[in-house]
């Protein structure tokens, strides 16, 4: 299906990049807080067992299996409603989420029941999806060229790293004032982050835009169907994204890089407190230093990915993070405590690797709708954003559930000042073995991923040729590139396939 010609691109100013990037204070910041602290908070200050805490994550993911892809599906078709025309088919959701973002703060009230924590966690997850899924489409809406999209991703990850630093150091600073045994530390952190979330979402709404609607997007918005048919079409549409080869490989790299960090983060507080004999303040300081190093790594990764292969940068990052994890293992093995300059080395290597692993998948994600377009002839940013958010939240929940269940099976005692040797060995095994296994998986996938600045330029030129009515590749090299990225023969491109 051919699209109408695209209007000239609107110039993207520094404040547009900044507004877009600042929204990852919500995207990455909330995930950093949750992955680092929520399991520890539930089992230390809320009286929940590790099994109860992981049950909360599991229930939230079941609900999210419907909510996240539904939001992406609706946002693709929202342009023909009054709100979609008035506020934008994506940006209307951002606007609606702003007054709901304080739901993050109420998660961190200590001493409540299991049902309170279940409801508040699920509520925030739904609000998060309402805002983040449309947000993730906006880089593709506001830009089409490789460099501008890479800059959007760079600003996003830089702001996300700054918020992750806050997520790490705020508890430590609050502990100094409130005492190590005060659960109010986490409530105040939740309130401060809720304010930041609302400010960043407001900036995003005011300083972003969407591409002009084409005949195809207007037709998509006019589609009418029964509720049952809509649900069936929703999941058919979403699973169809997995028929795009570059997206499948992208997801593999994304999962390898992010689940490895989720496992590391979920186990790290327990590792420092129980394996190294440290305090929650030591956890805060070490995590804060790691996130600070990650910020530097993002700057390096942006330049590398713009000039060379994202897959090559990914492999270097995997090696650095893995070395940092092994150095942490060595420090525990040799009986080191949780403080001292000796920790600078593992923090540096882990932070450099983690920062690049955070940036690279989101940089390559911004090009997935382009690869999809040459296959389907459509722009489906919302479907890809729905899949990404769903996969991200599922992967984080899976990591938290796995860590919690292993702790429970190893004899972890809720609220205890120390744990048995068996439990400590389980903590170390999860943090080191789980992290390294996921990094190895991501490394293996990256060897097959070939999207880079040169191949993306070929892809975009070929989309313009197909839009103009051409049906044969410009050169044999062009055929090879687009077939490798798409996973389809050239004669099956531009809607001549069963993807949709």
Per-residue pLDDT, averaged over 80-101, amounts to 85
Q: Establish if 280 belongs to a structural domain.
A: yes
The Cα 197–Cα 194 span in angstroms is 5
CA torsion, points 331, 338, 317, 14, in degrees to nearest 10?
A: -170
Q: Establish if 258 belongs to a structural domain.
A: yes
The answer to whether 290 touches 347, Cβ cutoff 8 Å, is yes
pLDDT-derived band of residue 281, with 50, 70 and 90 as boundaries? confident
Predicted confidence (pLDDT) at residue 225 exceeds the cutoff of 50: no
Q: Which residue, 246, 450, 251, 256, is CA-closest to 353? A: 256
Q: Is 476 exposed, middle or buried (0-12, 13-18, 19+ CB in 10 A)?
A: exposed
Q: Which domain holds residue 359?
A: 14-209+226-451
Q: Establish if 216 belongs to a structural domain.
A: no
The Cα 63–Cα 53 span in angstroms is 16
| Inter-helix orientation angle 381-409/245-270, to 10° | 30
DSSP secondary structure letters along 244-264: SHHHHHHHHHHHHHHHHHHHH
pLDDT of 231 reads 56
- How far is residue 261 CA from its own chain's centroid? 11
Of 30 and 382, the one with more pLDDT = 30
The Cα-based distances of 71 to 43, 107, 189, 285, 300 in angstroms read: 32, 23, 28, 37, 34
Q: Which residue, 105, 103, 391, is CA-closest to 241? A: 391
Provide the 8-state DSSP code for 497.
Answer: S
The Cα 348–Cα 368 span in angstroms is 31
Q: Establish if 243 belongs to a structural domain.
A: yes
Q: How many domains does the chain have?
A: 1
CATH number where 62 lies? 1.20.1250.20
As given in the structure block, the two tokens for residue 366 are 């911004």
User: Which tens digit of pLDDT belongs to each residue from 103-119?
Assistant: 999 999 998 999 999 99
User: Which tens digit of pLDDT belongs to each residue from 25-43?
Assistant: 888 788 878 877 888 889 8
pLDDT of 426 reads 94
Q: Establish if 117 belongs to a structural domain.
A: yes
- The three-class DSSP label of residue 214 is coil
Q: Establish if 6 belongs to a structural domain.
A: no
Per-residue pLDDT, averaged over 260-280, amounts to 87
Q: Establish if 464 belongs to a structural domain.
A: no
Q: Establish if 476 belongs to a structural domain.
A: no
| Alpha helices (H) in 179-279, listed in sequence order | 184-206, 215-222, 227-240, 245-270
Predicted confidence (pLDDT) at residue 452 exceeds the cutoff of 90: no
């Amino acid at each position: 299906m051919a699209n109408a010609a695209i209007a000239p691109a609107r110039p993207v100013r520094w404040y547009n990049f900044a507004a877009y990037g600042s929204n990852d204070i919500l995207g990455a910041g909330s995930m950093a807080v949750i992955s680092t602290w929520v399991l520890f908070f539930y089992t230390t200050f809320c009286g929940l067992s590790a099994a109860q805490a992981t049950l909360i994550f599991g229930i939230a993911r079941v609900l999210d299996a419907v909510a996240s892809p539904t939001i992406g599906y609706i946002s693709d078709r929202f342009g023909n409603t009054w709100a979609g025309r008035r506020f934008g088919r994506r940006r209307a959701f951002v606007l609606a989420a702003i007054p709901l973002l304080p739901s993050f703060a109420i998660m961190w009230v200590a001493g409540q029941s299991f049902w309170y924590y279940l409801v508040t966690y699920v509520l925030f997850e739904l609000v998060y999806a309402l805002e983040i899924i449309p947000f993730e489409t906006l880089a593709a809406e506001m830009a089409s060229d490789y460099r501008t999209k890479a800059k959007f991703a760079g600003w996003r990850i830089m702001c996300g790293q700054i918020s992750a630093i806050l997520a790490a150091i705020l508890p430590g600073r609050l502990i100094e004032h409130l005492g190590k045994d005060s659960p109010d530390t986490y409530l105040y952190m939740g309130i401060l982050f809720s304010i930041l979330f609302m400010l960043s979402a407001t900036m995003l709404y005011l300083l972003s835009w969407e591409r002009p609607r084409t005949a195809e997007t207007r037709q998509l918005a006019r589609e009418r169907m029964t509720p049952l048919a809509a649900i069936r079409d929703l999941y058919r549409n979403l699973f169809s994204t997995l028929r795009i080869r570059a997206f499948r490989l992208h997801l593999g790299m994304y999962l390898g890089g992010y689940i490895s960090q989720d496992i590391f983060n979920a186990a790290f507080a327990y590792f420092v407190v129980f394996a190294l004999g440290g305090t929650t303040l030591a956890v805060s300081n070490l995590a804060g230093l790691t996130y600070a190093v990650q910020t530097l790594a993002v700057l390096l990764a942006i330049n590398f990915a713009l000039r060379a292969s994202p897959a090559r940068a990914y492999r270097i990052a995997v090696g650095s993070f893995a070395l940092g994890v092994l150095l942490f293992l060595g420090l525990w093995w040799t009986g080191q405590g949780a403080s001292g300059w000796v920790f600078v080395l593992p923090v540096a290597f882990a932070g450099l690797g983690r920062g690049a692993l955070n940036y690279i998948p989101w940089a390559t994600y911004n090009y997935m709708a382009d690869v999809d377009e040459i296959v389907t002839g459509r722009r489906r940013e919302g479907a890809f954003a729905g899949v990404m958010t769903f996969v991200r939240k599922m992967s984080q929940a899976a990591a938290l559930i796995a860590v919690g269940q292993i702790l429970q099976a190893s004899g972890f005692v809720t609220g205890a000042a120390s744990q048995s040797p068996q439990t400590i060995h389980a903590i170390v095994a999860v943090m080191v073995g789980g992290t390294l296994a996921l990094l190895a998986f991501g490394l293996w996938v990256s060897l097959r991923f070939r999207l880079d600045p040169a191949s993306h330029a070929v892809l975009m030129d070929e989309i313009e040729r197909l839009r103009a009515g051409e049906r044969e590749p410009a050169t044999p090299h062009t055929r090879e590139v687009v077939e490798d990225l798409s996973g389809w023969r050239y004669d099956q491109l531009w809607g001549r396939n069963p993807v949709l």
